[in-house]
A = this chain, B = another copy of it.
Amino acid sequence: MMRLVTLLAALFSLLLALPALAQSPSATVESPDKALSVSVAIGPEARANYTVSRNGKPVIAPSLLGFQFTDGPQFARDLEITNVTRSSFDESWTQPWGEWRTIRNHYNEMRVRLREVNRLHRIIDVVFRVYDNGVGFRYEFPDQPNLKTANIAEELTQFSIAEPATAWWCPAFESNREEQLYNKTPIAEIGTAQTPLTLKTASGLYVAIHEAALVDYSGMNVAKVQGGLLKAVLTPSSSGPKVSRAAPFPTPWRVLLISPDAPGLYMANSLILNLNEPNKLGDVSWVKPMKYVGIWWGMHLDQQSWASGPKHGATTANVMKMIDFAAANGFKGVLVEGWNVGWDGDWFADGRTFSFTKPYPDYDIEKLTAYARSKGVVIIGHNETSANIAHYEDEMRGAFDLYQKLGITAVKTGYVADAGGVQWRAPDGSIRFEWHEGQVMARHHLPVVTEAAKRRIAIDAHEPIKDTGLRRTYPNWVSREGQRGMEYNAWGVPKNPPNWESELVFTRMLGGPFDFTPGVLSLKGRGDTDILSTIAKQLALYVVIYSPIQMAADLPENYAKYPAAFQFIKDVAVDWDDTRVLNGEIGEYVTIARKAKGSNDWFLGSVGDDTARSFDVSLDFLSSGEAYTAQIYRDGDDADYRTDKRHSIVIETRKVKKGDVLKIALAPGGGQAIRFKAGR
């Protein structure tokens, strides 16, 4: 009952709001190239909505904005627009490391002040930044008497997709490590999805929904309401409000990457970096992109163990050999897992078993770090926390002090929380349990990164919070996991499918670097099981999957069996001046070319799916006037991931130059890697 009164109240509000709208009749902002347009309006019940269109055609139909609070009425209706301001911005900035040396940050901004007509008169600003290839918007909570602290029950942001679309999505809240295969379904079959969530609309537009600068807020997931209507669902909290923040503060940016083709969608991901704050760490020349090897794959093969005992992997002898292998082959890092005590207890259920400073007796940490140093190699530390962040926050500073002293310049953190959840110590001293992507974890990761930065240590987080571009602000946060990497090819049921990486590029990789750990040239998992890849594809992954730290994951004895292919892994760069996506379709194939940092060399990686395909690639990206030798690692004509020809590879060289056209053929489950070496 009473709906009549509702309608009357809404009508009344509308009447109040209209004069305000009339003061700003066109709450609209366009992208610099005028292709994208964003409008904000007050609709029925005086609710605020936004619309995104491209070349005049709706991409996001009117979609609501607002918040629910645990300690006050929702901010959702009876709103007026009291002020609209616009500005433009254009600058280019340089990445210390990355896919591009220079990134242009060029947008038009519109700031819309929303105010409640009645009673509390609360105010929230919505700020839109419209780029040529996407939109970022966020809420900003000003300091104000009736909203001193925002205790947010839910963010009411909607994404009403204007066209039918196919979606690539992973269910949210289905495991506490966010590592699952993508569903490819009509948009109406989305349940509740993690972001990035990628869509291809009926008219062929590519749209990804993600967020940027997830700082002191809860990670956003996207739930299907009905039909093509999606809405934000913040990650829950044990504390009631999903977010609790004192005003003034901004939310993370809600990001829409929009492109007429799949390659452009990947290229648009620099928008996420642009929406993050510039580097706050000052000189970060000590952050070194590198390739690394490690004591790791042997554990996943069950040939070695993290725990102590006869199979213990992290022994002084094993690591010395691995340092020698790294030095001999030009790898700058050696990851060692299972070096520290704690793996013998019930660590899986509670990371309190771990010491982050005390090595196992058969691991001579001082000797090894010194030996590594003598060989020009660094040890990459490993801190599995079992997501007991209460314990880790107690211990990490002391641990980082030790690592700095020893010259351990990078740490791989781990947050396995399958058994219980993220454990933290609440202000009242109680232990509480959370999701990986709630506000508690958003708050946890940054002190890890900044405490590490104080000691010139880089962080590579596994089972992490998702990547929202914070590497721009904290460039020592070099990489992370956050999806199914190579390890699933050791023991996963099922293993990563052949189209996995061509799907990742347009989904997970939109967020940022992925420590995928490619290069398993043996193509074997546990128990001699076959990995669903050709050997050439393993090489291509070093170009296709971006990370400034790239592992050569296989065992040294396996690399010894494939020296010719291994040469590419030794040669490939890890830091880039430029990146071009030459072609691609989501989950079918993708070809990426990257220019090595400070060099005229280019590298190309192309990966497909389970079918053979071939296409021409124009070498327009090469430097003009430069002669190149293309060192081509291609699938053999009989290569096939389903047969014993998965190791069939042809390695050949060709002289090429800018403008040449290269035919690329991919076997089923295949790939191709090319080094374009400049000079004669």
Contacts and interface: CB of A to CB of B under 8 A. Distances in A.
Interface residues of A, number: 73
Interface in A1-49: 1-7, 9
Contact of A70 (B68, B118, B183, B432): B432
Interface in A366-386: 384
Given A5-B348, A118-B349, A191-B191, 5 more contacts: A70-B433, A71-B433, A119-B350, A191-B224, A223-B223
A472 interface: no
A384 B4 CA distance: 14
Given A1-B462, A192-B192, A225-B191, A349 B73 contact: yes
A421 B191 contact: no
Interface in A418-434: 418-421, 430-433
Interface in A79-93: none
A388 to B, nearest CB: 11
Q: Which 10 A-B pairs have the closest CB atoms?
A: A73-B420, A70-B238, A191-B224, A188-B189, A240-B240, A2-B416, A239-B240, A238-B240, A4-B491, A171-B225
A72 B433 contact: yes
A462 B488 CA distance: 52
17 contacts: A1-B416, A1-B462, A3-B491, A4-B302, A4-B490, A9-B348, A9-B419, A68-B421, A70-B238, A70-B433, A71-B431, A73-B350, A77-B418, A119-B346, A154-B236, A189-B189, A238-B241
Interface in A467-510: 481, 487-488, 490-492
A153 interface: yes
Given A4-B491, A70-B433, A432-B71, A237 B238 contact: no
A238 B188 contact: no
A414 interface: yes
Interface in A190-216: 190-192
A185 interface: yes
Contact of A74 (B118, B151, B300, B421): B421
A143 to B, nearest CB: 21
Given A236-B153, A237-B240, A346-B119, A5 B188 contact: no
A174 interface: yes
A354 interface: no
A577 interface: no
A449 interface: no
A591 to B, nearest CB: 29
B1 A71 contact: no
A226 interface: yes
A621 interface: no
Contact of A192 (B5, B223, B302): B223
Contact of A78 (B3, B191, B419): B419
Contacts of A349: 73, 118-119
A119 B462 CA distance: 26
